[in-house]
Chains A and B, each alone.
Chain A
């Protein structure tokens, strides 16, 4: 009986393709929306996490400025850091692996007859460690070069490619590079980190010794940021406390004064940011779930209409000897097959859309089996519920009553 009824149900679907299509349209859209939203949300979350991971784990970023003030970091009257601060942190606080003082400036670099707008970063060799950088070619700075502010630089892969071309890490080493008024020798090439997600290219940088930046580019002694790398497995809270205490002393802040610098913990940042994107994902998913629900109501609507339309058909089937449960089963199978088809179509559309959109948005595509299964189960459930109840009402009618139905 089951096989037979399955056959009858499939025949009925095939015979009424337009009606079948309309029935599942809502489900297709709903399922596609939910899966796409959640998949993109997951991708965005991962992109954020990747970006933060690429900043270097176990890193404290210290910037001058009022904590959470409306002006943010770098408020006008707030004193900047000095190189000596970095030295003090490294020697006086336990658990610190290395400290890199950092300054930055936006410049246009020129080499090989080409221009490239980028950021020049001035720091020490410690910078490589704080940022998890390795060299694809060449060498780091010598102590001499760092102290004297020599005209040498290490360039990121993007800068290298734009100025010198060729395969990754290949050309550019030993060449000259003009930054503003001075010319420096490329002594090293950073290994590419790739896109950190959402259009942020970390490889687009030129590194020079801090003194080189201060003397030849910015013309001041400002250290904008202190990058503090903690030792592996070190607990960030006590280090942060000790760091804050030390800097307060060095900056001569009284007991009542607010901190005039802030400490950003990348781990904390990672948690906060990915928490935010997760909330966003949940929100988007909820909005999409509403559309799935609307799709379900659409199925119910069409099922109701189609059962009404088909009441005479049901009457006929009953009259020629179909059992009530056979008619019911037929409608149930039709509904389940249709909504499962809708679910599968939704999944296919969502997969294509997610892959496309995530590549456009520059975030990774992450297949999430749970949400796919959930949407499929939900659409099948809707089909069963909304297919079953109208059909049951009709199958319980007297055959003659059903036949007489207009």
Chain B
């Protein structure tokens, strides 16, 4: 049904026997106990599991924000575990977009400027930034809200600004750690539909952590974490569809 799902020879993302240890000595904690995971370009993956099972730890490694203690992480064929801090920053800047549970928008800063921020670090010109940010805000349905600051926006709107900020660089992968954790169910559904749309219409690979089955149901692949292991990894044959789209496809 979707062109983006066609299997490619080398996966976009490959974790091989990845482990993560926090702390040392007595306080040592094995948060990831050997993770093997391959994700192809264009997938929409939901990572689920109980609290403390290592979902965020895995996401931070996938997002190149953190490095594994052991094992290998290949992104686009490059060994991320061997990269320096700055090299990982450049990789994030170029290929990755982040959506956080707590939005993390700059206070007292307009939606437009928040969305432009990643482009500033890429060195884009003012016109390019403005145009790209307007487009990104339009694609999350916030045209007309450009000049509003986070304080003047609802939680759902703030998360949509954050999504616009994540996609403004046209990243290969969008990583979202509990993006609906701070939202009510109606707002959550809107965010999920947005992520699904970005995945299907723009071919952005979406990796999302959630512990709500309703939200995970929008993804096409479900990965379950238990106690630092992957307990199950299965395709979701019938992802939840927006009402309108369901009606149209039948």
**A68 on the interface (CB 8 Å rule)?**
no
Interface SS, B side: helix
**B229 on the interface (CB 8 Å rule)?**
no
Complex Cα spacing A117 to B104, Å: 79
| Selected contact of B86 from candidates A7, A313, A323, A403, CB within 8 Å | A323
Complex Cα spacing A317 to B121, Å: 9
Pairwise interchain contact A8-B120, C-beta atoms closer than 8 A: yes
Chain B residue at minimal CB-CB distance from A3: B123
Count how many chain B residues have C-beta atoms less than 8 Å from C-beta atoms of the other chain: 26
**B66 on the interface (CB 8 Å rule)?**
yes
Shortest beta-carbon distance, A183 to chain B, in Å? 82
**A326 on the interface (CB 8 Å rule)?**
yes
Interface residues of B in 148-176 (CB under 8 A from A): 165
Given the known A-B contacts A1-B123, A15-B108, A403-B100, are A320 and B118 also in contact in the complex, defined by CB atoms under 8 Å?
yes
A317-342 CB mask vs B (1 if < 8 Å, else 0) is 11111111010000000000000000
Q: Which residues of B contact A313 (CB under 8 A)?
A: 106
Complex Cα spacing A8 to B121, Å: 9
Given the known A-B contacts A8-B120, A400-B66, are A323 and B104 also in contact in the complex, defined by CB atoms under 8 Å?
no
**A312 on the interface (CB 8 Å rule)?**
yes
**A184 on the interface (CB 8 Å rule)?**
no
The count of A-to-B residue pairs whose CB atoms sit within 8 angstroms is 58
Interface residues of B in 53-81 (CB under 8 A from A): 60, 63, 65-66
Shortest beta-carbon distance, B166 to chain A, in Å? 8
Complex Cα spacing A1 to B86, Å: 14
Q: Which residues of B contact A8 (CB under 8 A)?
A: 120
Chain A residue at minimal CB-CB distance from B117: A320
Pairwise interchain contact B92-A320, C-beta atoms closer than 8 A: yes
**B113 on the interface (CB 8 Å rule)?**
yes
Count how many chain A residues have C-beta atoms less than 8 Å from C-beta atoms of the other chain: 24
Complex Cα spacing A319 to B93, Å: 8
Pairwise interchain contact B106-A4, C-beta atoms closer than 8 A: no
Pairwise interchain contact B65-A400, C-beta atoms closer than 8 A: yes
Pairwise interchain contact B104-A322, C-beta atoms closer than 8 A: no
Looking at A4, A321, A399, the one whose CB has the most chain B CB atoms below 10 A away is A321
Complex Cα spacing A15 to B106, Å: 10
Q: Which residues of B contact A7 (CB under 8 A)?
A: 120
| Selected contact of A321 from candidates B60, B109, B113, B118, CB within 8 Å | B118
Complex Cα spacing A399 to B85, Å: 10
A1-23 CB mask vs B (1 if < 8 Å, else 0) is 10010011001000110000000
**A316 on the interface (CB 8 Å rule)?**
yes
**A143 on the interface (CB 8 Å rule)?**
no
**B44 on the interface (CB 8 Å rule)?**
no
Chain B residue at minimal CB-CB distance from A320: B118
Q: Which residues of B contact A317 (CB under 8 A)?
A: 117, 121
Complex Cα spacing A317 to B85, Å: 14
Pairwise interchain contact A320-B121, C-beta atoms closer than 8 A: yes
Shortest beta-carbon distance, B80 to chain A, in Å? 14
Interface residues of A in 289-320 (CB under 8 A from B): 312-313, 315-320
Pairwise interchain contact A322-B66, C-beta atoms closer than 8 A: no
| Selected contact of B104 from candidates A321, A326, A403, CB within 8 Å | A403
Looking at A7, A16, A315, A323, the one whose CB has the most chain B CB atoms below 10 A away is A323
Shortest beta-carbon distance, B73 to chain A, in Å? 16
A220-257 CB mask vs B (1 if < 8 Å, else 0) is 00000000000000000000000000000000000000
**A368 on the interface (CB 8 Å rule)?**
no
**A398 on the interface (CB 8 Å rule)?**
yes
**B94 on the interface (CB 8 Å rule)?**
yes
Pairwise interchain contact B85-A320, C-beta atoms closer than 8 A: no
Chain B residue at minimal CB-CB distance from A11: B113
Chain B residue at minimal CB-CB distance from A1: B123
Interface residues of A in 374-406 (CB under 8 A from B): 398-400, 403
Q: Which residues of A contact B89 (CB under 8 A)?
A: 318, 321-324
Q: Which residues of B contact A15 (CB under 8 A)?
A: 106, 108-109
**B225 on the interface (CB 8 Å rule)?**
no
Looking at B60, B89, B100, B117, the one whose CB has the most chain A CB atoms below 10 A away is B89
Complex Cα spacing A145 to B109, Å: 89
Shortest beta-carbon distance, B24 to chain A, in Å? 16
Q: Which residues of A contact B98 (CB under 8 A)?
A: 319-320
Chain A residue at minimal CB-CB distance from B162: A316
Pairwise interchain contact A16-B165, C-beta atoms closer than 8 A: no
Q: Which residues of A contact B85 (CB under 8 A)?
A: 324
Pairwise interchain contact A316-B90, C-beta atoms closer than 8 A: no
Pairwise interchain contact A321-B86, C-beta atoms closer than 8 A: no
Interface residues of A in 348-375 (CB under 8 A from B): none
7 residue pairs from A and B, CB less than 8 Å apart: A15-B109, A16-B108, A315-B104, A318-B89, A319-B98, A321-B90, A403-B104
Residues of A at under 8 Å CB distance from B? 1, 4, 7-8, 11, 15-16, 312-313, 315-324, 326, 398-400, 403
Residues of B at under 8 Å CB distance from A? 60, 63, 65-66, 85-86, 89-90, 92-94, 96, 98, 100, 104, 106, 108-109, 113, 117-118, 120-123, 165
Besides the contacts A4-B120, A321-B89, A321-B92, what 19 more A-B pairs have beta carbons closer than 8 Å? Answer: A1-B123, A4-B123, A11-B113, A16-B108, A312-B104, A319-B63, A319-B65, A320-B93, A320-B165, A321-B93, A321-B121, A321-B122, A322-B89, A322-B93, A323-B86, A323-B90, A326-B121, A400-B60, A403-B100
